[in-house]
Amino acid sequence: MADLTLRQVKKSYGNIHILHGIDLDIKSGEFIVFVGPSGCGKSTLLRSIAGLEEITSGDLNIAGERVNDVPPSKRGIAMVFQSYALYPHMTVYDNMAFGMKIAGEKKEEIDRRVKQAAEILQLTKYLDRLPKAMSGGQRQRVAIGRAIVRNPKVFLFDEPLSNLDAALRVATRIEIAKLKESMPNTTMIYVTHDQVEAMTLADRIVVLKDGHIEQVGTPMELYKRPGNLFVAQFIGSPAMNILAGTIERAGAPTAVRLPGGVVAHAPIQTPEKAAGTSISFGVRPEDLHIATDAEGGALFEGTVDYIEQLGEVQLVYLDIGRGDDQPLVTKLPGNLEIKRGAVLKLTASPEDLHIFDESGRSFAHYEAEAKAA
């Protein structure tokens, strides 16, 4: 078991700064996922933890030991890369056993650990095969097995499913989830750009942008209570609808005037000084629904401009005359008969509304911090 802590970890290449003072605490047995756009520093951070990149400054501790100057092989870490990196001339058994043979482990111990890992990953019947006789998903499981046999303190996964097709990604993602269940005391850190992987696998997600941590939380915390505009639009697909608005009445609930003059009421505490200020108003496509008379009016009214029929659901794009050519997107049941050019009235529950200040920070996040204090 291993806690992992990072304190003001920075990484630079000359004058190019990649990581800007990362502070993070990871508990033993956690499954942590790093997400963020390309170039945000997530892979660099993972490689820095592995020791494949030298930290420019700051402290990295694994199981209470500062490991900044400890070589990768001595950190108690096993890494699974995007590419399988298997030896093509070796069988599955020999690929998994190779590292232990180099380390001088006894033959009986090697055999025990390889067979145990193969059973966990359902590879037992493939141990005598060469990698070329296996599917991409099976090869990736071999790469994971090669990491398991080392009994590491920490597993690192660098976009391990990105080379697989859609069906194999789903199957292998399930295998990784089962692997975590079978090894509850092992710490795992996983880098991906795929939100589905992050939401389904993570105990906590670390959202990165430009070498900074934007927010850390459980998948549902980030989805329900994003700390800022970036997280709000990065987590969730399609992205959250964001519109310009003005706080008409501060306090709790807050009244926000939206484009078209409609006033929305959100059960969010805002300071009195916020009255009259410009804000960003957010609502997720899946939280919008067709307004009924009983609900006393609609937040939005618009003309259907485009429809993406996905079967169970359909994404409906509406022109609400907001003036910036950005459609309002809603996710509605697929069996609703909606035609292009139709006029729809949409609303949402007050608890599903989000308000962000002029800096992009969530007012609900301010409120949560105040309660915690």
Task: Annotate 195-214 with b (16+ C-beta within 10 A) or e (fewer).
Answer: bebbbebbebbbbbbebebb
Averaged over 58-83, what is the pLDDT?
89
User: Is residue 148 predicted with pLDDT exceeding 80?
Assistant: yes
Place of tokens 């003036």: 323
Q: Which residue in 319, 318, 312 sits closest to 330, CA to CA?
A: 318
Exposure of 180 in the CB half-sphere (CA atoms within 13 A)? 22
The C-alpha atoms of residue 117 and residue 183 are separated, in whole angstroms, by 11
Residue ranges and CATH numbers for the domains of the chain are 4-231 (3.40.50.300), 232-372 (2.40.50.140)
Is the torsion defined by CA of 328, 333, 334, 340 positive or negative? negative
**Pairing state between β 263-266 and 300-309:** unpaired
Helix (H) or strand (E) holding 213: strand 212-217
Q: Which residue in 181, 188, 159 sits closest to 77, CA to CA?
A: 188
CB of 22 within 8 A of CB of 45?
yes
The C-alpha atoms of residue 239 and residue 236 are separated, in whole angstroms, by 5
User: Greater confidence, 29 or 295?
Assistant: 29
For the chain, how are helix, strand and coil distributed in percent, rounded to 5? 30, 35, 35
* pLDDT class of 198 with cuts at 50, 70, 90: very high
Full-model pTM: 0.89
pLDDT of residue 149: 87
User: Is residue 370 predicted with pLDDT exceeding 70?
Assistant: no
The C-alpha atoms of residue 287 and residue 346 are separated, in whole angstroms, by 10
pLDDT of residue 296: 67
Lowest mean pLDDT among 74-83, 162-171, 241-250, 295-304: 162-171
User: Could you read off the pLDDT of 267-277 as tens digits, one per residue?
Assistant: 998 888 989 99
Q: At what angle do helices 136-148 and 166-182 cross, to 10 degrees?
A: 20
The C-alpha atoms of residue 35 and residue 21 are separated, in whole angstroms, by 17
Averaged over 229-251, what is the pLDDT?
93
User: Could you read off the pLDDT of 291-340 as tens digits, one per residue?
Assistant: 987 666 788 999 999 999 999 999 999 998 876 678 999 999 999 999 99
Q: What is the DSSP letter of 134?
A: S
Exposure of 342 in the CB half-sphere (CA atoms within 13 A)? 13
User: Is residue 221 predicted with pLDDT exceeding 90?
Assistant: yes
Q: Cβ atoms within 10 A of the Cβ of 309, count?
A: 11
Averaged over 260-273, what is the pLDDT?
88
Question: CB burial class (10 A; 0-12, 13-18, 19+) of residue 176?
Answer: buried
Edge to edge, what strands does the sheet with 212-217 contain? 77-80, 154-158, 187-191, 31-35, 204-209, 212-217
Length of the chain equals: 373
Q: At what angle do helices 92-102 and 136-148 cross, to 10 degrees?
A: 30
User: Greater confidence, 304 or 138?
Assistant: 304
Q: Which residue in 322, 338, 354 sits closest to 254, CA to CA?
A: 354
**Two structure tokens written together for 280:** 């960003």
Residue 368, helix vs strand vs coil: helix
User: Greater confidence, 344 or 175?
Assistant: 344
Averaged over 101-115, what is the pLDDT?
89
pLDDT of residue 323: 66
Lowest mean pLDDT among 131-135, 241-245, 319-323: 319-323
Give residue 154's identity as a one-letter amino acid code: V
